[in-house]
């Protein structure tokens, strides 16, 4: 049975176990950690995120007199694992800065934990809650809300194809999908579009032929895929095999990045529209330089999973320089309202909800013979900024 | 054409893929009483074998033969050098070892081909769709239905009309009796295991142009394969066909009736079948 002496022994042991925190405090190194999926279904994200963070850290070297170091944290795409590993990084290594997260569920879970510890999270996840009802002072988002995705993808296409009045949607039944659908319905109503049907599917669905048969039977003009990643790829691949490209226009609300085009190939992507939060041919000075650097160092063109953690790290460094400090509280203050040159041009961190205001892109897949290089899968045909006013996001900054 | 009729045809197409996937699992369990959680890994290797061969310039039609052949030989080696030594252990050990093997296969695929998936185009002859009134269906999926039927026919003849089939059927009743009759049962075990794995690989090759290839496809299909086997009756060849078709039709029809529950209803159908017939549609007590 535990007694006071035993308790004191345990306390001493706990104090010794926490030694790395004090060691860190004395060190000149500034350790940041990128919490993302390094294994499992989403391991590709981790692979590219590692390259993005690595590039930014190596380019910078040190910030405010402290040598920059980074560590990848494998969240396994599981919120519980993400929280546990973030707690370990905070308690054992004194990490306070977490740039480069990408997945929604784990970002929401980590956001609370990092906020509680007084740290700073920069995420690229899609869940609107991050800069909405669950926003907090420790969390910033470079990715775009579902409102921006729908407005930036469907609105320009509606204007491009005024005769296409009948739209069919296929939607994954979870928060991100529901939010996309809600925003799409609002846009359809505003633009006089007839929403001829929707097929919900689960997050584990890989077979879409039944849903595509529904879409075919609806005689829609446009098939709007609101799913993401591998599910969007499967739905699109199967839609092409069902001959839907010849029957209707197909648009994917949010492409997951260049690797999605590489895995699908030009035969499938040619003529298909995609919403994109990042595309490597964005014509800004910052992006052109970034693409050159990535190609020189890694021999690949950057995709979203590489670019987003890179710019998160750059934002963090810029904010530290602006704050002239590496204390999270000071850096958060510097980030709020910060205007900086980013991948998409001049970007701004909105003070009220910590959402980065920047462009969203509509791109169109091109045929193999029109590709200028092996990564030139699509042309940007529209870009623009679409954001709800801060008071409409339901963010009450904690 | 009526939407539900379209979904019925589509469900049959889906069901044939599930049959090809599940039949090997069923045969292996029927004879070896071996719960093979690495079945999805053979599906995965078949799909990636097809992808690699096509990348090397081999015609898709050849991959239908080469993919299952290569995986069948690999499975035969695994049976001889690993599984044969663990048949006498309880099912829990079988699960542990086969899950481990599946993970090794998945990680090996990631190491060699990377974590990002890839596309496999159907052969030129099977690209495009068949249009009949308002019925539109991919030519390739029609081919898969035909291939599934052909496989069912060949396996049916093999199991019902040959000496090997008689041994397998008798072996599924009593392996000891077959051994006492002078049959080298270990050789039969190896052959059946290789055959089961080869059919999983064939399913992988057939599925590659439909869903592409990615390192996690083996794990994803394993659940469906088990459902088809359990619904049809474990160890029953005809049961795998019935189970596969039932699962495919339920999934497809539910896509129109209740889309969010299309996948869920597969498991509801399984529960219903097991309530009414605990040994599956065509299984024996």
ipTM value? 0.79
Determine whether the interchain pair A213/B122 forms a contact, defined as Cβ–Cβ distance below 8 Å. Answer: no
To the nearest whole Å, the CA of A201 is away from the closest chain B CA by: 5
Q: Where does CATH 3.40.50.2300 sit in chain A?
A: 2-144+283-358, 147-276+359-390
Distance CA B180, CA B174 (A): 10
Name the pLDDT band for A27 (thresholds 50, 70, 90).
low
Please identify among residues 214-253 of chain A the ones whose CB lies closer than 8 Å to any CB of chain B. 214, 216-217, 230, 233-234, 237-238, 241-243, 247
To the nearest whole Å, the CA of B141 is away from the closest chain A CA by: 9
To which residue do tokens 């910052």 refer? Answer: A286
Distance CA B246, CA B250 (A): 6
pLDDT, chain A, mean: 91
b/e map A83-101, b = 16+ CB within 10 Å: bebbeebbeeebbbbbbbb
For B262, which of A47, A210, A268 is closest by C-beta distance? A210
To the nearest whole Å, the CA of B61 is away from the closest chain A CA by: 18
Determine whether the interchain pair A233/B212 forms a contact, defined as Cβ–Cβ distance below 8 Å. Answer: yes
Q: Can you give the three-state secondary structure of chain A, one letter per residue? A: CCCHHHHHHHHHHHHHHCHHHHHHHHCCEEEEEEEECCCCCCHHHHHHHHHHHHHHHHHHCEECCEEEEEEEEECCCCHHHHHHHHHHHHHHHCCCEEEEECCHHHHHHHHHHHHHCCCEEEECCCCHHHHCCCCCCCEEECCCCHHHHHHHHHHHHHHHCCCCCEEEEEEECCHHHHHHHHHHHHHHHHHCCEEEEEEEECCCCCCCHHHHHHHHHCCCCEEEECCCHHHHHHHHHHHHHCCHHHHCEEEECCCCCHHHHHHHCHHHHCCCEEEECCCCCCCCHHHHHHHHHHHHHHCCCCCHHHHHHHHHHHHHHHHHHHHCCCCHHHHHHHHCCCEEEECCEEEEECCCCCEEECCEEEEEECCHHHCCCCCCCEEEEEEECCCCCHHHCCCCCC
For B252, which of A202, A210, A238 is closest by C-beta distance? A210
Report chain A residues whose CB lies below 8 A from the CB of B115.
43-44, 47
Mean pLDDT score, B151-171 = 87
Distance CA B200, CA B40 (A): 7
Half-sphere exposure of A146 (CA within 13 A, CB side): 25
To the nearest whole Å, the CA of A89 is away from the closest chain B CA by: 26
Using the Cβ of A298 and the Cβ atoms of chain B, whether some distance falls under 8 Å is answered with no
pLDDT digits (tens, 9 = 90+) for B30-76: 877 888 899 999 999 999 999 999 999 999 999 999 999 999 999 99
The tokens for B152 are 């069912």
Name the pLDDT band for A245 (thresholds 50, 70, 90).
very high
H-helix or E-strand containing B131? strand B129-132
CA distances from A164 to A160, A221, A222, B104, B266 (A): 9, 5, 7, 49, 36
Distance CA B283, CA A71 (A): 54
Distance CA B184, CA B256 (A): 51
What was the pLDDT predicted at A16?
Answer: 43
To the nearest whole Å, the CA of B156 is away from the closest chain A CA by: 28
- Asked whether the beta carbons of A175 and A130 are under 8 A apart, the reply is no
To the nearest whole Å, the CA of A259 is away from the closest chain B CA by: 7
Across the A:B interface, residue pairs with CB atoms under 8 Å apart total 114
Distance CA A44, CA A234 (A): 17
Distance CA A382, CA A385 (A): 11
Out of A229-238, A278-287, B155-164, pick the least confident.
Answer: B155-164
Flag whether pLDDT at B182 surpasses 90. no
Determine whether the interchain pair A214/B117 forms a contact, defined as Cβ–Cβ distance below 8 Å. Answer: no
Name the pLDDT band for B1 (thresholds 50, 70, 90).
low
pLDDT digits (tens, 9 = 90+) for A139-162: 999 999 999 999 999 999 999 999
Q: How many CB atoms sit inside 10 A of residue A125's CB?
A: 24
Name the pLDDT band for A14 (thresholds 50, 70, 90).
very low
Report chain A residues whose CB lies below 8 A from the CB of B140.
241
Nearest CA in chain B to A259: B116
Read off the pTM.
0.85
To the nearest whole Å, the CA of B216 is away from the closest chain A CA by: 6
Determine whether the interchain pair B260/A206 forms a contact, defined as Cβ–Cβ distance below 8 Å. Answer: no
Nearest CA in chain B to A40: B216
For A200, which of B131, B251, B260 is closest by C-beta distance? B260
What was the pLDDT predicted at B284?
Answer: 66
Distance CA B46, CA B71 (A): 7
Report chain A residues whose CB lies below 8 A from the CB of B11.
210
Distance CA A197, CA A167 (A): 7
Question: Which residues, listed in sequence order, are joined to residue A340 by a DSSP beta bridge?
Answer: A347
Question: How far is Cα of residue B17 from the mean position of the Cα atoms in its chain?
Answer: 7
For B263, which of A198, A204, A262 is closest by C-beta distance? A204
- Asked whether the beta carbons of A111 and A136 are under 8 A apart, the reply is yes
Mean pLDDT score, B178-189 = 86
What was the pLDDT predicted at B14?
Answer: 86
Strands A139-141 and A339-342: unpaired
Q: Which site among B255, B257, B268 would you substitute to test the A interface, given the most A Cβ atoms closer than 10 Å to its Cβ?
A: B255
Mean pLDDT score, A4-25 = 43
Distance CA A167, CA A215 (A): 9
CATH number of A147-276+359-390: 3.40.50.2300
Does domain A2-144+283-358 sit in CATH 3.40.50.2300?
yes
- Asked whether the beta carbons of A344 and A360 are under 8 A apart, the reply is no
Q: Which site among B116, B128, B251 would you substitute to test the A interface, given the most A Cβ atoms closer than 10 Å to its Cβ?
A: B116
- Asked whether the beta carbons of A352 and A114 are under 8 A apart, the reply is no
Determine whether the interchain pair A210/B255 forms a contact, defined as Cβ–Cβ distance below 8 Å. Answer: yes
Nearest CA in chain B to A212: B255
To the nearest whole Å, the CA of B256 is away from the closest chain A CA by: 6
Question: How far is Cα of residue A10 from the mean position of the Cα atoms in its chain?
Answer: 42
Flag whether pLDDT at A15 surpasses 70. no
Determine whether the interchain pair B259/A211 forms a contact, defined as Cβ–Cβ distance below 8 Å. Answer: yes
Flag whether pLDDT at A7 surpasses 50. no
């Amino acid at each position: 049975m535990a007694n006071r002496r035993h308790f004191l022994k345990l306390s001493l042991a706990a104090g010794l176990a926490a030694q790395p925190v004090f060691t860190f405090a004395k060190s000149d190194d500034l350790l940041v950690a990128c919490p993302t999926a390094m294994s499992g279904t989403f391991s590709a994200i981790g692979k590219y995120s590692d390259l993005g963070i690595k590039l930014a850290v190596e380019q910078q070297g040190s910030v405010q007199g402290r040598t920059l170091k980074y560590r990848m944290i494998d969240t396994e795409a599981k919120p519980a694992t993400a929280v546990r590993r973030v707690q370990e990084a905070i308690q054992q290594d004194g990490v306070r800065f977490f740039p480069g997260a990408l997945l929604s569920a784990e970002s929401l879970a980590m956001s609370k934990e990092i906020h509680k510890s007084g740290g700073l999270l920069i995420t690229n996840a899609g869940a609107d809650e991050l800069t909405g009802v669950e926003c907090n002072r420790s969390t910033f988002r470079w990715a775009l809300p579902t409102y921006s995705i729908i407005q930036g993808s469907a609105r320009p296409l509606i204007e491009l194809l005024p005769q296409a009045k009948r739209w069919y949607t296929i939607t994954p039944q979870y928060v991100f999908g529901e939010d996309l659908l809600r925003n799409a319905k609002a846009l359809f109503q505003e633009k006089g579009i007839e929403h001829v049907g929707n097929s919900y599917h689960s997050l584990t669905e890989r077979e879409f032929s039944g849903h595509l048969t529904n879409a075919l039977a609806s005689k829609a003009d446009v098939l709007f895929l609101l799913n993401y990643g591998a599910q969007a790829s499967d739905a699109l691949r199967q839609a092409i095999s069902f001959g839907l490209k010849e029957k209707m226009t197909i648009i994917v609300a949010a492409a997951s990045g260049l690797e999605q085009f590489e895995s699908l190939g030009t035969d499938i992507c040619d003529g298909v529209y995609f919403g994109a939060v990042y595309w490597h041919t964005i014509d800004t000075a910052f992006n052109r330089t970034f693409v050159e650097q990535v190609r020189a160092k890694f021999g690949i063109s950057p995709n979203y999973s590489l670019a987003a953690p890179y710019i998160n790290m750059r934002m963090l460094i810029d904010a530290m320089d602006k704050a002239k400090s590496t204390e999270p509280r000071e850096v958060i203050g510097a980030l709020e309202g910060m205007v900086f040159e980013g991948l998409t041009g001049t970007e701004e961190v909105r003070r009220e909800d910590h959402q980065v205001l920047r462009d969203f892109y509509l791109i169109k897949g091109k045929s193999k013979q029109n590709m200028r290089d092996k990564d030139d899968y699509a042309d940007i045909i529209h870009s623009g900024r679409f954001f709800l006013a801060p008071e409409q996001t339901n963010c009450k900054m904690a | 054409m009526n939407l539900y009729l379209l979904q019925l045809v589509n469900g049959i197409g889906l069901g044939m893929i599930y049959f090809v996937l599940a039949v090997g699992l069923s045969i292996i369990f029927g004879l070896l009483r071996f719960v093979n959680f690495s079945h999805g890994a053979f599906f995965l290797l078949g799909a990636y074998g097809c992808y690699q061969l096509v990348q090397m310039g081999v015609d898709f039609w050849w991959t239908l033969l080469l993919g299952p052949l290569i995986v069948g030989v690999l499975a035969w080696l695994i049976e001889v050098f690993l599984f044969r030594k663990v048949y006498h252990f309880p099912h829990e050990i079988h699960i542990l070892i086969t899950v481990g093997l599946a993970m090794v296969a998945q990680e090996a695929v990631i190491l060699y081909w990377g974590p990002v998936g890839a596309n496999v185009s159907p052969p030129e002859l099977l690209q495009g769709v068949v249009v009949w009134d308002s019925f539109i269906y991919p030519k390739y999926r029609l081919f898969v239905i035909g291939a599934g039927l052909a496989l069912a026919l060949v396996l049916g003849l093999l199991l019902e009309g040959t000496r090997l089939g008689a041994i397998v059927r008798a072996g599924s009743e009593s392996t000891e009796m077959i051994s006492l009759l002078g049959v080298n049962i270990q050789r039969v075990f190896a052959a059946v295991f290789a055959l089961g794995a080869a059919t999983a690989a064939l399913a992988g090759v057939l599925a590659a142009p439909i869903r592409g290839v990615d390192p996690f496809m083996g794990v994803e299909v394993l659940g469906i394969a088990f459902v088809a086997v359990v619904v049809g009756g474990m160890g029953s060849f005809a049961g795998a066909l019935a189970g596969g078709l039932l699962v495919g039709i339920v999934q497809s029809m539910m896509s129109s009736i209740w889309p969010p529950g299309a996948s869920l209803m597969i498991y509801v159908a399984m529960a219903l079948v097991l309530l009414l017939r605990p040994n599956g549609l065509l299984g024996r007590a």
